[in-house]
Amino acid sequence: MTARGGQGSAASLVLVGLACQEVGASFAVMLFPHTGPLGIVMLRLLFSAVLLLVIARPRLRGHTGYAWRSVIGFGVVLASMNGLFYLALQRLPLGVTVTIEVLGPLTLSILTATGVARWVWAGLALGGVAALGAGGWDRLDALGVLFALGAAVSWALYILASARVGREFPRLDGLALAMTVGAVIALPFGIAQASSALLRLDILAIGAAVALLSSTIPYALELVALRRLAASAFAILMSLGPATASLAGFLLLGQHLSWLELAGIALVITASIGAVLAAARRSAGARHPGPDADEPRRRSAGARHPGPDADEPLSEPVG
């Protein structure tokens, strides 16, 4: 297989993973009348934790207190990120929810950038949010927007917490343990909201499918793709999340968006791609300060890969 063919197939894997995430989110919305958003959050985290524990079989001994505090903090962020996302999804269209949530890592990228370009991407992102509003703030639930903004902040915190845990635990160990912490946190809220629905096998089966589609399958596809794809290219593909979410919302949930809302989503995607490309150029410049440097180029270290494990993505799919 040629390098170009390998990159093309890797990009396809990422896009399939994005599609799986949004199909999983659509299934979650369909369960809301039975379980409520917190019920499906509990099911997703619980099934994901069980799968990760079986796959990773993390070692519990030999870790410092700092490492365990990092895992607990990571688990808290996981629970809050997923909880706020699904609470927003109960009140907002899928595409709008994902677009607002993407502002979290985008803002983090802009804040850590230098130069004039970052203000260009910040302005585009702000224009995207304004376009979403112009498309009809009157039909965007205010509490839903606040939940989505909370999910955006949680996603930015997730990236930072994930990097810290990645430095303390090998492979998938830290993620498996943090997912378990998140599931324990979500358990009482999910039981309180879903109550007797959790005794239905069909509800449990769909909850398992949501975990599989939203977490396990995309994560596995990303692991394979990242062996062939530069981190900067991977991050650009992930920026298409709002577009795939809008398409899934339209096809599976019958959610229609105005042309201004679609324009807002496009502006946020453009800002995300611009911020990623700017970060890749800075990374390349830092590695190659002189024109005569003959050191071979390494993969750019994207926001999802600040830790030592180059094969482990640091952004658990949320949608």
Q: Kindly tell me if the per-residue pLDDT of 69 is higher than 60.
A: yes
Helix and strand counts by DSSP (H, E) for the chain: 11, 0
**pLDDT tens string 24-34:** 999 999 999 99
Cα separations (Å) of 260 from 2, 129, 134? Answer: 41, 10, 7
pLDDT at 273: 81
The rounded distance, in Å, linking the Cα atoms of 76 and 80 is 6
pLDDT at 189: 95
pTM above 0.85, yes or no: no
pLDDT at 2: 53
The rounded distance, in Å, linking the Cα atoms of 250 and 257 is 8
The rounded distance, in Å, linking the Cα atoms of 212 and 225 is 18
The rounded distance, in Å, linking the Cα atoms of 67 and 54 is 21
Question: pLDDT exceeding 90 applies to what percent of the chain?
Answer: 30
Q: Where is pLDDT greater, at 119 or 195? A: 195
The rounded distance, in Å, linking the Cα atoms of 313 and 181 is 19
Q: Where is pLDDT greater, at 9 or 230? A: 9
The rounded distance, in Å, linking the Cα atoms of 114 and 88 is 32
The rounded distance, in Å, linking the Cα atoms of 249 and 239 is 17
Look over the chain and give the mean of its residue pLDDT values, rounded to a whole number.
80
**pLDDT tens string 154-175:** 988 988 888 888 888 887 888 8
Q: Kindly tell me if the per-residue pLDDT of 46 is higher than 70.
A: yes
Of the chain, the end-to-end C-alpha distance in Å amounts to 32
CB atoms within 10 A of CB 285: 9
**pLDDT tens string 241-256:** 888 888 888 888 888 8
Q: Where is pLDDT greater, at 97 or 137? A: 97
Least trusted range by pLDDT, from 42-51, 87-96, 206-215, 298-307: 298-307
**pLDDT tens string 184-214:** 999 999 999 998 889 899 999 999 999 999 8
How many Cα neighbours within 13 Å face the side chain of 20?
21
Q: Kindly tell me if the per-residue pLDDT of 280 is higher than 90.
A: no
Helices (H), 254-303: 259-287
The pLDDT confidence band at residue 6, using thresholds 50, 70 and 90, is low
Average pLDDT (108-116) is 73
φ, ψ for residue 142, nearest 5 deg: -65, -40
Q: Kindly tell me if the per-residue pLDDT of 108 is higher than 90.
A: no
What's the gap between Cα 81 and its chain centre?
9
The rounded distance, in Å, linking the Cα atoms of 216 and 210 is 9
How many Cα neighbours within 13 Å face the side chain of 147?
23
Task: Give 165-210 as a 3 state SS string.
Answer: HHHHCCCCHHHHHHHHHHHHHHHHHHHHHHHHHHHCHHHHHHHHHH
pLDDT at 150: 95
The pLDDT confidence band at residue 265, using thresholds 50, 70 and 90, is confident
The rounded distance, in Å, linking the Cα atoms of 41 and 28 is 9
Least trusted range by pLDDT, from 11-15, 40-44, 117-121: 117-121
Residue with tokens 């700092």: 66
Q: Which residues, 6 or more positions from 234, have their beta carbon under 8 angstroms from its beta carbon?
A: 14, 222, 225, 226, 302, 304
